[in-house]
Structure 1
Amino acid sequence: MLEETERRHVMRKIALEEAVAVPGQEKLVPGGSESFEFQAMMPVYDRLVDLTEERLRHMDATGIEISVLSVTSPGTQGLPADTDAAATVTQWNDYVATAISEHRDRLACFAALPMRDPDAAITELRRYVTDLGCPGALVNGYDDGTGTPLYYDAPQYLDFWHTAEELGVPLYIHPRSAPPDHVTTYNGYPQLDGAAWGFHVETAEHILRLILSGLFDTAPRLQIILGHMGEILPWWAWRLDHRLALDPGDKLPLARTVTEYLQQNFYITTSGFFHTPALEYAVGVLGPDRVLYSVDYPYESCEEAGTWLDKADLPDDLLRKIAFDNAARLLKLG
């Protein structure tokens, strides 16, 4: 196997957690220049607002045939309360769609959505999928523009989820920092609040809310994408099922186990998680058809991600699925 991987050529790839910024977006980040999101954006800002030129060069160098772009965290979920979120989202989506219009063979985009208004989110999702042909949508976690975090297990989002199911497009749930009232355990250790830890815990808990609410029993064909090798959940699924089955107070009227929901309603990506043992474990939990390649450019390196996957000591047919085939099927690309 090692000799085969040494000879392996650069594989064709689809990457689908690839961030962009709309110029001026940084001025709307909640918490301003002190926030984790702002501080993360600034070192790579030029690459975030460059939707085509340098981005395409990195894609060409590492075998990425198609990148699916999305507005970087916190995106529209962090818009201030006095912002017309629906109008801003439409402007941002149109900006991205226009910017990539001459490269539709290489670049696609996930819709941003005004999730604080579920009806407006439905309208924008329909518009972006049916009129502009986008392959789905991406939201940056909870919405807190009203001052109170809104998680999407709330009853007012049920019609939105049914719309996504009806349209047959996935929703990517991307991390953002935990709300201020949830971060007391990080006090004194700001490194824990962001991409090293807090992002993933926050997202995993949001997903568990969706699962435990019974959403996927009422919308069984709904598909969710998670980055960073599944935001911890593949590693914790067995433990969740074990304790939920044993603890009487935790019994819920769900049709399936957490592991089964992950296997039937979720895809995960390799964004920012370039580690072969972790990839093998995730494939073992979700199956070979549910894992997708991603980089998390420009926060992560296309070269590091691409070299890792091209040389991974795994079967070629599995790597082709992860690199290209699974995403092409899910997103109807390529």
Structure 2
Amino acid sequence: MKKIALEEAFAVPGIEKITPGSLSLREFTQKMPKLLDLGKARLRAMDEHEVEISVLSPTSPGTQGIADASQERALARQWNDYLAEAVGRNPTRFRGFASLPMRDPQAAAEELTRAVNELGMVGAMINGYDNSGDSAPIYFDAPEYLDFWKTMAALDVPMYIHPRPAPPERTTTYAGYPELRGAAWGFHVETAEHVLRLIMSGLFDKMPSLRIVIGHMGELLPFWAWRIDHRIAIEGWDRWATENGRGRLHTVTEYLRRNITITTSGVFYTPALLHAISVMGHERILFSVDYPYENTQEASDWIEGVDLPRNVKEAIAYKNALTFLKLG
């Protein structure tokens, strides 16, 4: 069964010096040779498991964790050019998600426009909050990002929000348990909270066509959306939000079905997939591997073996992505 994968990471040479926070992730150094490869080894893994197209993006924390904040705009541009060259060498097999200098909303909008219109990127990826230069975390529900999101909606391309470790100042939550800061737990909580901030801010009411992608079977949200909506209603928070100028038209569950698309990256677990389908519908689910941090064979064998109708599996494996990314 052919496939399209959307959360497939690469690294530019010397990235560990540019984003030293990446060294806190054990798997980063373990996977460095595969992260640096944008040719034979990656294509071989794709060929062996019928992955026709991989959408590439710089590994976390990307531009959001650059050590020197003043370099964020220039490096985003350089990385996008680097990726565009790699895609150009294999244009039928690779596509790219743009890196963005999100500390500066106007610069981010300008680079997004260039990356889409001039370089052919199919969207963008941000790696959670921005704390380049070790600043306090910046989240993108802030009012100054509204024009950036308008640019994204006008270009009609998706934003993939990828995890990164929880901010280092959260010592109370993670002190003494470094194994919980990353992909085992903190990644997913951090991303889910970021998406909830976007929802609660009313962003999707202002821009109903805005499209967000999140990986790892929805970063917990499909599994907790009912509880979120249930408690917000019982505790009267909808009324409070309206009284304080940020009322919403829909529930969290409804925004998941309207504005959010999820991928299977790194979660090759059938009960989780079946629940996500029950909440969001299979049309809002896309196959991904999370290469090279996850194994392409495991991901491929799993989706091909899932007990679902053939048309549903094909939709998740590649047909939804063809439409969503305007690839065919």
Query: Is TM > 0.5 for Structure 1 vs Structure 2?
Result: yes
With over 3 angstroms needed to count, the CA separation of the structure-2 counterparts of 1:31 and 1:165, relative to structure 1, is closer
Is 2:251 the partner of 1:257? yes
- Partner Cα separation in structure 1 for residue 314 and residue 106 of structure 2: 39
Q: How many residues align?
A: 321
- Partner Cα separation in structure 2 for residue 288 and residue 21 of structure 1: 31
> How far did 1:248 drift?
2.1
Q: Which residue, out of 68, 72, 88, partners 1:101?
A: 88
Aligned to 1:177: 165
Q: Which residue, out of 269, 274, 295, partners 1:301?
A: 295
Contact 2:225-2:252 within 8 A present in 1 as well: yes
> How far did 1:81 drift?
3.5
Q: Which residue, out of 3, 8, 11, partners 1:18?
A: 8
Is 2:262 the partner of 1:272? no
Q: Which residue, out of 64, 78, 90, partners 1:77?
A: 64
> How far did 1:246 drift?
1.1
Contact 2:116-2:123 within 8 A present in 1 as well: yes
Q: Which has the higher contact order (CA 8 A, sep 6+)?
A: 1
Contact 1:183-1:193 within 8 A present in 2 as well: no
What's the secondary structure of 2:98's corresponding residue? coil
TM-score by length of 2: 0.95
Contact 2:21-2:65 within 8 A present in 1 as well: no
Q: CA RMSD in A?
A: 1.2
Is 2:194 the partner of 1:206? yes
- Partner Cα separation in structure 1 for residue 256 and residue 234 of structure 2: 20
- Partner Cα separation in structure 2 for residue 51 and residue 296 of structure 1: 15
Is 2:129 the partner of 1:135? no
- Partner Cα separation in structure 1 for residue 55 and residue 163 of structure 2: 17
What letter matches 1:194 in structure 2?
G
Gaps (5+ residues) in structure 1? 1-10
> How far did 1:305 drift?
0.3
What letter matches 2:317 in structure 1?
A
What letter matches 1:14 in structure 2?
I
What's the secondary structure of 1:220's corresponding residue? coil
TM-score by length of 1: 0.94
Contact 1:15-1:64 within 8 A present in 2 as well: yes
> How far did 1:30 drift?
3.7
What letter matches 1:19 in structure 2?
A
